[in-house]
């Protein structure tokens, strides 16, 4: 079905069985730079799922470049552990790749025993919040030798291919960038001089591994940093890399410090494939595309339409390692989605914690969270078809229990519909697609429009009940908040009612801010209309840009705390705040709303009372657990398990992981 995706490709002389590569992703499964069982189970599962290449990385080549957190192959003693992992990847039918890593100025002193990070020049790094030491010529040669020695060890450990990281703002990118490289010697200044460090490095690694070992490099197709390399420079860089000896080029976009997002769901699917295509025009070796290639259709299109020769599936294979197998078998609707929420991966790793996956409770827990068939199948009643109930139902059914789902609404999905309503959050609706497919596949009877009470439970007499009642919007104790003309965020996101010109939102947490975006985006130019107007030069670009953010309502958010969006993930908060700013949303922090009276809001700020009039007032003040059935069951002494928001309002991963674990415990 996916003819191009599942055709083999040759890199150097090595045949790869398909066009799917799992790229390097820091997982932080250890704090001693060593591989452990958690890593090996993780990689086994990715290889088993059918990817052609599985990359182990990032792997440091010396201490200053990777410190205590990344894996390291800086010493021979590391070889046996890496040999074990390559054995596993190859045993499962994939080619084993390693990504060799040096952070340069992106290293942090606290990760390298308080030493200074090294870089081409002593330019302050906003990302690491420190100024690195300028590398001497001796340092330069040492780092190049360290890459070569690491690559040699990697080949001894059985890796089929070696990738050098030349992307994301790390050491090689720093040498290439006039922003970071202010050297006046042979490694700085002209384009040729800035290229010298990476091309010499490639040549040394090539020498170390010999002519037949596939050697690849990852590069940004555009640094997306003003003053740094753009897509007019990168094809020349790629051509120089090929001339220096690489066998394939892996193209991503941006640096860690770019103000253009690279990972979250705001980034449209396949958005950076055009960068790969741009590189492909300049080289003859295979090119890989990257970033948000979510569905098999997307991947096939990238290959078929000539954007790239291979696709990287990063978080997508964390969310579902079986993606390749399911695509091959035509079971695409059963692929667990990566919704690019960044909560379990990027946010965790930037907080120094191991990666997990919101949508896949097994990721990183492959050994301990196995779906083992039950030897005592029970009749299970699941009440509530939100994420928690659905995950519990599907997992229980996969274990061999006989499950039925009961849902009071007319469709499954619960709060997922609300969460997926704001602009750029539509990806969350992919969970609905997935659970619908799985409910079908597991042949789970789904009783919609059915409110469950104790009588129904007694009548059905199931072996166990999973109660996933969810939550409801909370009305805060503000005079006037309960009057009928005051809306709440859930109603607005779900029913999309007509709103007034001046809209106030009370509560500036994640829900309040996303509701603000939802409201502010109403009446703006749609992407299609923008494309049309741009294509015909119908209006000046600046005017079109203004119309992209000029909606029909003005929005003001009232937040009690000193900072809005405190509950938004680290890696995505800046994007949300940036968007709100572009849409002209006013955020009043440190405000306590005292009353709502016919659209007149009175609030206290800095000891003063003020008021203003709004056409629509929307509450976004959190939620309350629904516990009607759970309480009735507890009173009646009927055994049951509560999952999801019914325990306490939480995040999507609490719902999905909680539902999953409850089903494992049955
Ligand atoms: C938690 C995390 C860690 C990552 N670590 C690396 C890395 O060490 N080296 C690298 O080249 N890319 C790294 N990436 C980028 C991924 O390889 C990949 O390009 C990115 O996630 C976009 O692809 P995706 O949308 O398929 O996930 C990382 C991404 C994430 C989310």
Q: What are phi and psi of 444, to 5 degrees?
A: -90, 120
pLDDT band with cut points at 50, 70 and 90 for residue 68? confident
Can you give the residue ranges of every domain in the chain? 9-350, 379-472+624-664, 475-621
Please tell me whether the peptide bond between 296 and the residue prior to it is cis, using omega within 30 degrees of 0.
no
CB of 354 within 8 A of CB of 364? yes
Find tokens 């040999």 and name the residue.
83
What was the pLDDT predicted at 69?
Answer: 85
| Residues 312, 304: Cα–Cα separation, whole Å | 15
pLDDT band with cut points at 50, 70 and 90 for residue 618? very high
Q: Domain 475-621: give its CATH superfamily.
A: FAD/NAD(P)-binding domain (3.50.50.60)
Neighbours of 159 (CB within 10 A): 28
| pLDDT (tens digit per residue) in 106-115 | 999 989 999 9
| Residues 641, 389: Cα–Cα separation, whole Å | 11
Per-residue b or e along 598-611, where b marks 16 or more CB atoms closer than 10 Å to that residue's CB: ebebbbeeeeeeee
Neighbours of 136 (CB within 10 A): 11
Ligand 1 contact, 252 CB (< 6 A)? yes
CB of 239 within 8 A of CB of 191? no
| Residues 282, 148: Cα–Cα separation, whole Å | 26
CA 229–ligand 1 middle distance (angstroms): 20
Q: What are phi and psi of 426, to 5 degrees?
A: -55, -30
Ligand 1 contact, 263 CB (< 6 A)? yes
Question: Whose CA is closest to atom 6 on ligand 1?
Answer: 25
Nearest atom within ligand 1 for CA of residue 292: 25
Question: Whose CA is closest to atom 13 on ligand 1?
Answer: 25
pLDDT band with cut points at 50, 70 and 90 for residue 402? very high
| Residues 249, 379: Cα–Cα separation, whole Å | 53
| pLDDT (tens digit per residue) in 96-142 | 999 999 999 999 998 999 999 999 999 999 989 999 999 999 999 99
Selected from 3.40.50.970, 3.40.50.720, 3.40.50.150, 3.40.50.1820, the CATH number assigned to the domain covering 379-472+624-664 reads 3.40.50.720
Ligand 1 pocket test: pick from 19, 20, 26 the residue with the most ligand atoms within 8 Å of its Cβ. Answer: 26
CA 405–ligand 1 middle distance (angstroms): 37
Task: Give how far the C-alpha of residue 303 lies from the chain's centroid of Cα atoms, to the nearest Å.
Answer: 23
Give the residues across from 165 on adjacent strands.
218
Ligand 1 pocket test: pick from 314, 338, 357 the residue with the most ligand atoms within 8 Å of its Cβ. Answer: 314
| pLDDT (tens digit per residue) in 285-327 | 999 999 999 999 999 999 999 999 999 999 999 999 999 999 9
- pLDDT, average across residues 498-513: 97
Examine the pLDDT at 203 and tell me if it is beyond 90. yes
Examine the pLDDT at 537 and tell me if it is beyond 90. yes
Nearest atom within ligand 1 for CA of residue 293: 26
Question: Whose CA is closest to atom 9 on ligand 1?
Answer: 24
| Residues 460, 450: Cα–Cα separation, whole Å | 13
What was the pLDDT predicted at 570?
Answer: 86
| pLDDT (tens digit per residue) in 552-577 | 999 999 999 999 999 999 899 999 99
CB of 315 within 8 A of CB of 355? no
Ligand 1 pocket test: pick from 19, 22, 23 the residue with the most ligand atoms within 8 Å of its Cβ. Answer: 23
Q: What is the pTM of this model?
A: 0.96
Ligand 1 contact, 57 CB (< 6 A)? yes
| Residues 325, 322: Cα–Cα separation, whole Å | 5
Phi-psi region for residue 306, left (φ > 0), alpha (ψ -120 to 50) or beta?
A: left
Question: Span 9-350: which CATH code?
Answer: 3.20.20.70
| Residues 652, 666: Cα–Cα separation, whole Å | 22
Neighbours of 526 (CB within 10 A): 10
Question: Whose CA is closest to atom 15 on ligand 1?
Answer: 25
Give the residues across from 604 on adjacent strands.
592, 609
What was the pLDDT predicted at 443?
Answer: 98
- pLDDT, average across residues 204-211: 98
CB of 79 within 8 A of CB of 59? no
CB of 55 within 8 A of CB of 98? yes
């Amino acid at each position: 079905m996916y003819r191009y995706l599942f055709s083999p490709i040759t890199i150097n002389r090595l045949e790869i069985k398909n066009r799917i590569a799992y790229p390097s992703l820091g997982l932080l499964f250890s704090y001693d730079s060593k591989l452990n069982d958690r890593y090996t189970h993780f990689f086994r599962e990715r290889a088993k799922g059918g990817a052609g290449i599985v990359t182990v990385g990032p792997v440091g080549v010396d201490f200053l470049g990777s410190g205590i957190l990344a894996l390291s192959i800086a010493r021979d003693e590391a070889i046996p552990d890496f040999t074990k992992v390559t054995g596993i990847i190859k045993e499962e039918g994939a080619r084993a790749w390693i990504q060799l890593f040096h952070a340069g100025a992106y290293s942090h002193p606290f990760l390298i025993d308080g030493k200074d990070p090294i870089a081409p020049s002593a330019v302050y790094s906003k990302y690491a919040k420190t100024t690195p030491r300028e590398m001497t010529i001796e340092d330069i040669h040492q780092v190049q030798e360290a890459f070569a020695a690491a690559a040699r060890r990697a080949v001894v450990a059985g890796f089929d291919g070696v990738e050098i990281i030349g992307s994301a703002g790390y050491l090689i990118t720093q040498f290439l960038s006039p922003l970071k490289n202010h050297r006046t010697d042979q490694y700085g200044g002209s384009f040729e001089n800035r290229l010298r460090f990476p091309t010499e490095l490639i040549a040394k690694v090539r020498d170390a591994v010999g002519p037949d070992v596939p050697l690849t490099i990852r590069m940004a197709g555009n640094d997306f940093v003003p003053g740094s390399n753009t897509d007019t420079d990168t094809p020349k860089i790629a051509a120089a890399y090929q001339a220096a000896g690489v066998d394939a080029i892996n193209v991503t976009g941006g640096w860690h410090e770019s103000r253009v997002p690279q990972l979250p769901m705001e980034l449209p699917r396949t958005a950076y494939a055009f960068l790969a295509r741009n590189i492909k025009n300049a080289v003859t070796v295979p090119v890989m595309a990257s970033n948000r290639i979510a569905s098999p259709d997307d991947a096939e299109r990238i290959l078929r339409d000539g954007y790239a020769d291979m696709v990287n599936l990063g978080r997508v294979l964390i969310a579902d390692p079986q993606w390749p197998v399911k695509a091959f078998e035509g079971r695409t609707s059963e692929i667990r989605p990566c919704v690019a929420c960044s909560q379990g991966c990027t946010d965790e790793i930037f907080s120094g914690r191991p990666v997990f996956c919101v949508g896949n409770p097994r990721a990183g827990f492959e050994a301990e969270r196995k779906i083992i068939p039950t030897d005592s199948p029970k009749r299970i009643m699941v009440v509530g078809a939100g994420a928690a109930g659905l995950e519990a139902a599907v997992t229980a059914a996969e274990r061999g229990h006989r499950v039925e789902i009961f849902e009071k609404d007319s469709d499954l999905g619960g709060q997922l519909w609300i969460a997926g309503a704001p602009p750029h959050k539509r990806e969350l609706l992919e969970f609905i697609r997935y659970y619908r497919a799985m409910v079908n596949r597991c042949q789970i009877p789904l009783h919609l429009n059915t409110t469950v009470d104790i009588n129904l439970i007694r009548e059905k007499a199931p072996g166990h009940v999973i109660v996933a009642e969810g939550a409801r919007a909370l009305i805060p104790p503000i005079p006037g908040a309960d009057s009928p003309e005051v809306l709440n965020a859930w109603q607005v996101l779900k029913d999309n009612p007509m709103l007034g010109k001046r809209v106030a939102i009370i509560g500036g947490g994640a829900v309040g801010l996303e509701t603000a975006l939802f409201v502010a985006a109403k009446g703006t130019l749609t992407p299609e209309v923008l494309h049309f107007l741009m294509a015909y030069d119908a209006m000046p670009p600046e005017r079109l840009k203004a119309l992209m953010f000029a909606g029909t309502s003005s929005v003001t958010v009232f937040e009690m705390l000193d900072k809005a969006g405190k509950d938004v993930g680290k890696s995505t908060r800046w994007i949300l705040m940036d968007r709100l700013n572009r849409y002209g949303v006013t955020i009043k922090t440190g405000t306590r709303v005292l009353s709502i009276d016919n659209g007149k809001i009175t609030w206290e700020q800095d000891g003063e009372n003020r008021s203003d009039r709004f056409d629509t007032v929307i509450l976004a003040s959190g939620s309350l657990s629904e516990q009607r059935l759970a309480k009735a069951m507890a009173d009646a002494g009927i055994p049951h398990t509560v999952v999801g928001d019914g325990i306490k309002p939480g995040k999507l991963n609490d719902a999905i992981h909680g539902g999953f674990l409850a089903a494992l415990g049955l």
